[in-house]
Amino acid sequence: MSLTRETIAALPKVLLHDHLDGGLRPATIIELAAQVDHQLPATEPEALGEWFVAAADSGSLERYLETFEHTIAVMQTTDALARVAREAVVDLAADGVVYAELRYAPEQHQRHGLTLQQVVDAVHAGIAEGKAEAARAGHTIEAGTLLSAMRQNDRADEIAELTLANRDRGAVGFDIAGPEDGFPPSRQRTAFQTLREANFPYTIHAGEAAGPESIWEALQLCGALRLGHGVRIIEDIELGPAGDAAGAGTQATFGRLASWVLDRQVPLEVCPCSNLQTGIAASVANHPISTLWHLGFAVTINTDNRLMSGTSMSREMELLVTEAGWTLDDLEEATLLAAWNSFAPHHIKQQIVTRQVEPGFAAARA
């Protein structure tokens, strides 16, 4: 069977790594910017969307992060936060996403005086509205939030406490985001300790702008349950000669860290299109995701920043199929891995798998 764009669009999808401040609709940014008198580089939705992608294409993570100045600037009121969260859920549901973990850093939304708790409440209210709106359009979606602490701001202890205070009110996990290079995970060790002692899960952005050392810290010093990106684990693997099975296969030699990540099946939240913009790979065809996948790593497929990358879950999957030879079986296996490694309660994961993912893929084969 051929995997058409329509087939892929209809597949049930599970998304673990998507930034709320990286997924706004261009038209919404324009409307919100007008309300707060924020100057944008373009004032028509299509041109603005293109500007975001072009600016993020520059090749450095630092420059990529600059694009967030505009999205963050318009996300400073409870109304704006709720709207952005609502639209994100609606857009993901329309793309076939049945479970999503949306992440954002509450500390970035305090420029107009909101408390951290007001920020969290607004986002959760928006998500609830989004789920209801999606249901009215015939889409079932479950969504939770990951609260991120910005690595450079040193507020992780405070954000960890905030996350715990909201653990039964929509916050399902914790994360650190922002510049990885120069801000190793161990800087926030006490926050991770607090969360671990409270039996609360977290992922860590590691192995994107920095290499295996950062991944090692995230796992062995900080106890991350998943890795945001994590793709630079490839640097701890000596690949076999070209032409070997799966470009690596039987002749790959694993370093101790890569063995740990593979043997423990540490989930990797891989975001192919985002990595093209930050220079990790030149194309999806030669992105390390496929090598890692064929070597048996617990790869999941994610969007990171839909606005900056001009992407969606369907697009990420379609590029893996058309450029890297991924099959429907591959997509299903990666989706199941994402579902089972989400931070949702076990009974919710079971529901997502048995009521959505398995029947959805079965329907695609029918």
Pick 170 or 228: Cβ nearer Zn ion: 228
Pick 304 or 316: Cβ nearer Zn ion: 304
Pick 304 or 318: Cβ nearer Zn ion: 304
Scanning residues 245 to 304, which ones bind Zn ion (CB under 5 A)?
Answer: 304
Residues that contact Zn ion, how many (by CB under 5 A): 1
Distances in whole angstroms, Cα of residue 284 to Cα of each of 65, 289, 316, 326: 21, 8, 9, 11
The minimum distance between CB 280 and Zn ion, in angstroms, equals 13
Tokens read off for 347 = 């009974």
Give residue number: closest CB to Zn ion. Answer: 304
The minimum distance between CB 308 and Zn ion, in angstroms, equals 10
Pick 105 or 353: Cβ nearer Zn ion: 105
Pick 101 or 332: Cβ nearer Zn ion: 101
CA–CA distance, 191 with 201 (Å, rounded to integer): 12
Tokens read off for 366 = 């029918």
Pick 180 or 330: Cβ nearer Zn ion: 180
Q: Taking CA 86 as the corner, what is the angle to CA 199 and CA 148, rounded to the nearest 5 degrees?
A: 35
Distances in whole angstroms, Cα of residue 67 to Cα of each of 21, 86, 158, 175, 186: 10, 21, 26, 20, 27
**Residue positions annotated with a catalytic role:** 208
Strands (DSSP E) along 118-213, which ranges?
A: 142-150, 171-177, 203-206
Scanning residues 302 to 361, which ones bind Zn ion (CB under 5 A)?
Answer: 304
Give pairs for 357-362: CB < 8 Å, separation 24+: 357/12, 357/14, 357/98, 357/332, 359/12, 360/10, 360/11, 360/12, 360/96, 360/98, 361/11, 361/12, 361/328, 361/331, 361/332, 361/335
Scanning residues 294 to 313, which ones bind Zn ion (CB under 5 A)?
Answer: 304
Distances in whole angstroms, Cα of residue 273 to Cα of each of 198, 202, 251, 268, 341: 35, 23, 28, 15, 22
The minimum distance between CB 17 and Zn ion, in angstroms, equals 6
The minimum distance between CB 148 and Zn ion, in angstroms, equals 8
Nearest to 165, CA basis, from 200, 208, 206: 200
The minimum distance between CB 311 and Zn ion, in angstroms, equals 13
The minimum distance between CB 229 and Zn ion, in angstroms, equals 7
Residues that bind Zn ion (CB under 5 A): 304
